[in-house]
Amino acid sequence: MTALQYDPHEIEARWQDIWAEERTWEVANTHDAAAHANDSYVLEMLPYPSGEPHIGHLKTYSVGDAIAHFHRRLGRRVLHPMGYDAFGLPAENHAIKTGEHPRLSTAVSIASFQRQFRSWGISIDWSRELATHEPSYYRWTQWIFLELFRSGLAYRKEAAVKWCPHDQTVLANEQVDADGRCERCGHLVEVRQLEQWFLRITDYAERLLGDLETIDWPANVKTMQRNWIGRSEGAEVTFRCDELAIDYPVFTTRPDTLFGATFFVMAPEHPDVLRLAHGTEHEHEVREYVNVALNESNQERGDVERPKTGVPLGRRVTNPVNGEQIPMYVADYVLMEYGTGAIMAVPAHDERDHAFARAFDLPIRRVIEPAGGSDAADDDALPYTGDGVLVNCGSDFDGLPNRDALAEIVRWLDREGNGHASVNYRLRDWLVSRQRYWGAPIPILYCEDCGVVPVPDDQLPVQLPEIDDYTPKGRSPLAAVEDWVSTNCPACGGRARRETDTMDTFVDSSWYFLRYCDPHNDLAAFDPDALREWMPVDQYIGGVEHAILHLMYARFFCKALADLGHLDFQEPFQALFTQGMVTKDGAKMSKSRGNVVSPASIVERVGADAARCYILFVGPPDQDADWSDAGVDGVHRFLSRLWRLGAETAERGGAASGPPHGDAGAQGDDLVLLRKAHWAIDKVSGDLRRFAFNTAIAAVMELLNDCSRLRDSADVEMLRFALATGASLLFPFAPHVSADVFERLTGERVWETSWPSAEEELLERDVYELVCQVNGKLRDRVQAATGASADELKELCLAAPNVQAHLDGNEIVKAIVVPGKLVNFVVRPAVSTVSF
RNA sequence: GCCCGGGUGGCGGAACGGUAGACGCGCUCGAUUUAAAAUCGAUGGCCUUGACGGCGAUUGUGGGUUCGACUCCCACCCCGGGCACCA
């Protein structure tokens, strides 16, 4: 017999060629809505092409490919496309450094991703490939922007925006981290006043929140989105400044504490602050305070620990519930972006107001006492933020539980015209302008006569002009291309200038999954019929780092496009799976740490199947996993054993003599193998449905171990069946070697066969090992017949030698019988001999 | 501070309230080999020369529920993540 040697490189190249030549994974649109029921859209988040793919990519696409293959073999038509999120800062920064056009470095990287995806054997429908920087794609990104503009969802306003001095561009709120640093480069972010484009995502806050109920996403991702949206119920209450005859509404979640409001505070950015202080003794001081506050970084201002500061405005407002005149302050602990930029301060029942009152020696009036009057009733226990009953609130409200009083007071405010129930959100509108080159130009013109004019649809795309100097200078590099900027107004024909900002790249990735459904359409972004066929995505897969931004923006786009009549579904991703990070030596892989494991080098060493299988085997895919070279070798050995035993069995059994079958009349070791194979089918099928790839692969290992153990004692036909079954089950994780083994054993292409199904009767055994316990401790095991009665099982257990030993002289108080599992005797000493 | 996850052998990890440690890695020993690699097999706390067999401890800590708890409940410790002057 020739020495059979597992050669992953030869095997993988051979099968990859077949899949490429036969375009095995391509699916055509059927334009048949009825086909939808049997379709499946499996999608991994598209990669950002920078350099080479890293191990995290290998994990994402290994997970996605396993699901795609599983769905196919369950008989579904699977859409599994690929594309590139090609615009963005890293490519542009590279261009600034080297002068090389970002298109070139991006093309090099994309080629590398394409090559490696093929070498990993990922089952991609390449006919639908796209990249967001291609004019054929961003033409429609621009069209969507204009649709949003036309419906009022894209608007322009001057705003205090987050500016990164290093990247020389504005950032979305979401792109600034907790320390007030640029998410990308880590520099401290500054505030600038600029005219910017915003998308009105806040209009969708309620639906983005409510529709989370309708989708099958991990709980932690839903929680993150809920926190980010930050819905608060409360009331808007109007405080009037009589001197200047101006009403100031405030938002509060605690209208029940309204009688305890002893002062009033405005944010430094509030437009009325200087006007209010004007002419008072505090005018100068206020002006200085505002200047300092505005120039402070968010990081400094946001520090919870720092002492409260502020300045009196020298004015008073009236508390509507009791007519009290309370003093106004400006203080930087009040944020302009939330609520109305002004608050009523209730120092007795709010930590921050309390700290401010102490610092400025302002009155603190308790209006809620804990029910039952405990220590917390002591004024030293203030601020008190819990529930209780109202005090110091006048005869109408005193004594009411505060939760009841809250509703009562809101009704009173409403009746008197001093306020109403209200809901507030933490979510802010999405700032999409970027003063950078490598992005989709915002398709807007500024005409001297007509003002803001959208570029007509038939003039899209607004193409990026070629430039030489990518260096940021505080404005978009596009602004320097005078003959591009200067154009004519499509409305009046007069002189107009182009918008020179480009769009946040999150805009590009907020609709790419729609384009995959109809990628070559040059008459529209997509045909609604094509979307009906595939959308929503059945299974979306990606990193948890996108839990908020990308996933929120994509949901927003779908809802907005649905409202505009372009889609007939509300949520883009029906199910979401977020995979954990791959670390090395417990740390995130990075060049500076020198612990980067490149997928290419692993594939070179042990092949793609072993690399893919290992990364799924190392642990549950939603958790972080630490890469181990020794571990991948172990999986490589497993695949070698499978292939060798498969090849050897194929030779022995007269290869390719048709599909093998488990013989129902099998006996002895044949029956053991037959049962193990069916157990594995059942186990792997269940594990695939719950993304437990690690235990699925372990089950195939167990099956193979039994095959090896029984290779000489079992019938070769049964061995052929068991090994072919193992290969079939392993195909979603290690497609090349599985296809190879399966073909050798059966003459068939495994991906053309349907997923095996386990036979119930082979999952059950006629005898099993009955666990015998005494007082909950395992004492013996005996063979028991399936279907034996409880009494029979008790008898069996009672007869077990080691049970006898432990029952010796003791009285059986109780017997617990779990058929199919165990018998537990609860005993106590028959004679109470107390001895020490 | 608030909200989520998570703590199991030397390591990664398994385990519907029912045999804790599947599967893999590593270590050690053995077979094969002139040798090594590769491959195959075995041990893995204690008692027993050894196998067989038996015994005890054990899933971050302390309590509780239960015939029985890694699993459920309460309190605490540690690690990771998200949010955080959001009224």
What DSSP character marks residue A582?
Answer: E
Tens digit of pLDDT for each residue in A736-762? 999 999 999 999 999 999 999 988 888
Q: Output the pLDDT for position A373.
A: 58
Any strand B atom closer than 7 Å to A769 CB: yes
Q: Output the pLDDT for position A833.
A: 44
Distance, CA of A299 to C1' of B83, in Å: 15
Strand B: positions under 7 A of a protein C-beta atom: 3-5, 12-16, 18-20, 22-26, 38-41, 53-56, 67-69, 81-87
Residue with the bigger pLDDT between A729 and A587: it is A729
Residue A159 has pLDDT above 80, yes or no: no
Tens digit of pLDDT for each residue in A2-20? 467 899 999 999 999 999 9
What whole-number distance in Å separates Cα of residue A467 and Cα of residue A451? 27
Distance, CA of A765 to C1' of B67, in Å: 27
What whole-number distance in Å separates Cα of residue A513 and Cα of residue A46? 9
Tens digit of pLDDT for each residue in A512-528? 999 999 999 999 999 99
Q: Output the pLDDT for position A832.
A: 45
Tokens linked to A744: 């050798």
Taking a C-beta distance cutoff of 8 angstroms, is the pair A448, A495 a contact? yes
A352: which nucleotide lies closest, measuring CA to C1'? B85
Tens digit of pLDDT for each residue in A650-702? 988 764 555 666 666 777 888 889 999 999 999 999 999 999 999 999 999 99
Q: Output the pLDDT for position A378.
A: 65
Tens digit of pLDDT for each residue in A255-292? 999 999 999 999 998 999 999 999 999 999 999 998 88
**Mean pLDDT of the A335-350 span:** 92
Q: Output the pLDDT for position A296.
A: 74
Q: H or E stretch including A40?
A: strand A39-44
Length of chain A in terms of residues written: 836
From the C1' of B85, which residue's alpha carbon is nearest?
A: A333
Kindly state the greatest CA–CA separation across chain A. 110
Pick out residues 230-269 of chain A having their CB under 7 A from any atom of nucleic acid strand B. Answer: 230, 232, 234, 250-254, 267
From the C1' of B56, which residue's alpha carbon is nearest?
A: A777
Any strand B atom closer than 7 Å to A803 CB: no
A622: which nucleotide lies closest, measuring CA to C1'? B5
From the C1' of B67, which residue's alpha carbon is nearest?
A: A826
Tokens linked to A823: 């018998």
What DSSP character marks residue A161?
Answer: E
Q: Considering chain A, what percentage of its residues have pLDDT values greater than 70?
A: 95
Any strand B atom closer than 7 Å to A160 CB: no
Tens digit of pLDDT for each residue in A798-826? 887 778 777 777 778 888 888 878 888 88
Residue with the bigger pLDDT between A171 and A754: it is A754
Any strand B atom closer than 7 Å to A804 CB: no
Any strand B atom closer than 7 Å to A708 CB: yes
- DSSP H stretches of helix in A379-511: 402-416, 482-485, 505-508
Residue A316 has pLDDT above 60, yes or no: yes
**Mean pLDDT of the A213-235 span:** 91
Q: What is the pTM of this model?
A: 0.91
At residue A594 the predicted structure's pLDDT band, cuts being 50, 70 and 90, is confident
**Mean pLDDT of the A358-363 span:** 94
Q: Output the pLDDT for position A597.
A: 87
Distance, CA of A598 to C1' of B5, in Å: 29
Distance, CA of A203 to C1' of B64, in Å: 49
Distance, CA of A778 to C1' of B58, in Å: 15
Any strand B atom closer than 7 Å to A486 CB: no
Instruction: Transcribe A489-506 into DSSP letters.
Output: -TTT-SEEEE---EE-HH
Distance, CA of A641 to C1' of B30, in Å: 21
Q: What is the mean pLDDT of chain A?
A: 89
At residue A766 the predicted structure's pLDDT band, cuts being 50, 70 and 90, is confident
Any strand B atom closer than 7 Å to A303 CB: yes
Tokens linked to A809: 């002289």
**Which of A168-182, A286-300, A487-501 has the highest average model confidence (pLDDT)?**
A487-501
Distance, CA of A777 to C1' of B58, in Å: 14
Any strand B atom closer than 7 Å to A695 CB: yes
**Mean pLDDT of the A306-317 span:** 92
**Mean pLDDT of the A727-735 span:** 97
Going across the sheet that includes A777-785, the strands are A777-785, A767-774, A822-829, A810-818
A219: which nucleotide lies closest, measuring CA to C1'? B4
Residue with the bigger pLDDT between A492 and A160: it is A492
Residue A443 has pLDDT above 50, yes or no: yes
A145: phi then psi, degrees, rounded to nearest 5:
-55, -45
Q: Output the pLDDT for position A179.
A: 65
Q: Output the pLDDT for position A662.
A: 65
Any strand B atom closer than 7 Å to A179 CB: no
Going across the sheet that includes A587-588, the strands are A587-588, A582-584, A625-627
Residue type, A269: E
Taking a C-beta distance cutoff of 8 angstroms, is the pair A582, A56 a contact? yes
What whole-number distance in Å separates Cα of residue A256 and Cα of residue A397? 9
A230: which nucleotide lies closest, measuring CA to C1'? B86
Q: Output the pLDDT for position A347.
A: 94
- DSSP H stretches of helix in A23-101: 55-73, 89-98
Q: Output the pLDDT for position A458.
A: 95
For the purposes of burial, counting CB atoms within 10 Å of the CB of A394, is it exposed (0-12), middle (13-18) or buried (19 or more)?
exposed
